[in-house]
Structure 1
């Protein structure tokens, strides 16, 4: 712990220049007396550190004392600071580690690169959650992340959407993925690798048993493949609909990209409107999606979907026109 603090003190002085004992104590969350002892230890280790008394005094390193990172371009330095996501890092229990790493990087960069990296951090901010969605609360995320890091088996109680709703699984946690503000655990179960939404984990126990990762497993490649598979299985049928000119203009903003692409590719002028054929997840899901567009859309096929939309409209009419 103390060795880490000594390094942090040294890097603070490399990054910020002259700092008072009080400022260093505040930054490192220790007492001023502790800073005095740490400075003495750095002196004893041969670090060229000196202090000036008075209101404008403080501790400072001799000019030229700096550890430099070699081979790092300005663009690479900028990207390292742009890639920092403090919110997700804190959720994983790595907030302090990320801050310390950025401090060490900033201290080691030459002044020209340090200025450019600082400008990048000041001007760009990455916000992972999608609009209209708050970040999900995942109380077991830090525990799961630690098990992923240490390759430790997990026993989890998981709430899912189909029956039985609550299940218990013993998993080999292979990786965590953050998508649109939601954390997903990619883990190997008894027979296959599956994806689990971390917010749906109701209980977790870290087992003493460790495991070997599947040879050649690539988390990023697996995630891309699983997304493609999910999208392929997502749509179970098709529907033909007629959109008013106004609805056609805004249709792509109300549906998934795959639905919008299918509509664009199949669009045919149909009197005052546009006729399109789109993929649907289910009759029930399509009914809700199309009802949101009101009288700007008419279902032409299949008959089952048209009948369900008609029944829903009649039910609404009986409520509001009675």
Structure 2
């Protein structure tokens, strides 16, 4: 642990030029006294660094000195691929490795390239989760990720939407996918499971082999295509005001109301979606959806008339 901290301290000084003992302590999450000891250890090992006293003082490396300790460990290499999603890396237990990997990557870059990387980080941010609702807790995510990496089968108790709602199943975890802030496990079958719906998990001492023709990206693309195909199985004929057409993404007519045929998942789902449009939509077909919306409108009118 201390060797890793010494390397991180050295890379911090190389990257930022000058840092006080307090700043280094905050970065390394140690005491100032520990920083003093680490600096002494680096100096004893022949690293050309020195301290400057005063308000603008701190530790820095001799001008022109650059370390070649930029090789990535296995965890750091994995974390580097998640650099755009630091939250995901932290959930997988790779947050510290990601921070160290970034330092090592920066240390390996020339000054001009480091400046360009800084500008990108300042001006672009990827925030994957959706707006509404907090992320569901995933207490078994780290264990699942470990099983995926080690190619070990797991025994899990899982909650699903259809009966029986809770099942116990042995699965071979092929890979993990982060979609809209939610983690999914792709397993043998292939089947897909929401990681936040895993109630209990036991890692088994059973290795498995992923089929040679399996591709996680291709499997997930097929899963999404199937989902979309099953999502909108019907259509509704509607009339829309200009505002309703805008909100549904339909090209508005020039003379006010626009008639359009739009895909719907089901009467129940479409009922909720069209209620959001209020008076900006009139459903013409199917008759079951029109009747359902009319009944809801009568109920609301009576309630607010009181």
Q: TM-score range by the shorter chain?
A: 0.7 to 0.9
* Structure 1 position 53, deviation (Å): 6.1
TM-superposed CA distance for 1:22, in Å, is 5.4
Q: Which residue of 1 aligns with 2:176?
A: 176
Distance of aligned partners of 1:312 and 1:5 in 2 relative to their CA distance in 1, 3 Å threshold: same
Q: 1:37 to 1:287 in 2, by over 3 A?
A: closer
**TM-score, scaled relative to structure 2:** 0.83
State the partner residue of 2:10: 10
Alignment check: 8 A CA contact 1:49 1:62 kept: no
Checking the alignment, whether the CA contact within 8 Å between 2:154 and 2:172 is kept in structure 1 is yes
- Structure 2: which 5+ residue stretches go unaligned? 71-79
Q: Does 1:122 align with 2:122?
A: yes
- Per the TM alignment, residue 246 of structure 1 is displaced from its structure 2 partner at its CA by 2.8
Q: For residues 250-309 of structure 1, what are the alpha-carbon distances to aligned partners after superposition, in whole Å with 9 as ceiling and x for unaligned?
A: 223xxxxxxxxxx56xx8x69752211122111111122222222322222222222222
Mapped to 1, the partners of 2:19 and 2:282 lie a distance apart of 70
Does 2:35 match 1:51?
A: no
Which residue does 1:232 correspond to in 2? Answer: 229
Which runs of structure 2 are paired with 1:211-290 in the superposition (5 Å)?
Answer: 211-252=208-249, 272-290=256-274
Distance 1:68 1:30 in 2: 22
| Cα RMSD, aligned residues only | 2.9
Unmatched segments (≥5 aa) in structure 1: 70-79, 253-262
Contact 2:235 2:264 in 1 (8 A): yes
Deviations 1:180-211 (A, max 9, x none): 211111112xxx11221222222211112121
Looking at structure 2, the residues matched to 251 and 293 of structure 1 have their Cα atoms a distance apart, in angstroms, of 9
Counterpart of 2:135 in 1: which secondary structure?
Answer: coil
Residue pair 1:128, 1:181 contacting (<8 A) in 2 also: yes
Give 1:44 shift: 6.3
Change (3 A) 1:84 1:245: closer
Compared CA separation, residues 53 and 196, structure 1 to 2 (3 A): same
- For residues 275 and 18 of structure 1, the distance between their equivalents in structure 2, rounded to whole angstroms, comes to 67
3-state DSSP of counterpart to 2:296 = helix
Query: Which residues in structure 2 correspond to 1:104-183 (within 5 Å)?
Result: 104-183=104-183
- The 3-state SS of whatever aligns with 1:51 is strand
Cα 1:32–1:249 shift into 2, 3 Å? closer
Match of 1:313 among 297, 300, 303: 297
Write the distance in 2 (CA, Å) between the matches of 1:286 and 1:270: 26
Greater shift in the superposed pair: 93-102 or 32-41: 32-41
Q: Report the CA distance shift for 1:301/1:18 in structure 2 as closer, same or farther (over 3 A).
A: closer
Q: 1:297 aligns with which of 240, 262, 281?
A: 281
In the alignment, the residues of structure 1 paired with residue 246 and residue 115 of structure 2 have an alpha-carbon distance, to the nearest angstrom, of 46
The count of corresponding residues between Structure 1 and Structure 2 is 295
Which residue in 2 is equivalent to 1:74? Answer: none
TM score, norm. by length of structure 1: 0.80
**Residues 118, 82 of structure 1: alpha-carbon distance in 2 compared, 3 angstrom cutoff:** farther
Q: 1:81 to 1:21 in 2, by over 3 A?
A: farther
**Using the alignment, how far apart are the partners of 2:49 and 2:243 within structure 1?**
72
User: 2:64 is matched with which residue?
Assistant: 63
Which range moves more in the overlay, 214-223 or 87-96? 214-223
1:75-115 per-residue CA deviation (whole Å, 9 max, x = no partner) reads xxxxx799432212111111111111001111121111111
CA contact (8 A) 2:13 2:61 kept: yes
Q: CA deviation digits over 1:138-191, x for unaligned, max 9?
A: 222222122212222122222111222112221111111112211111112xxx
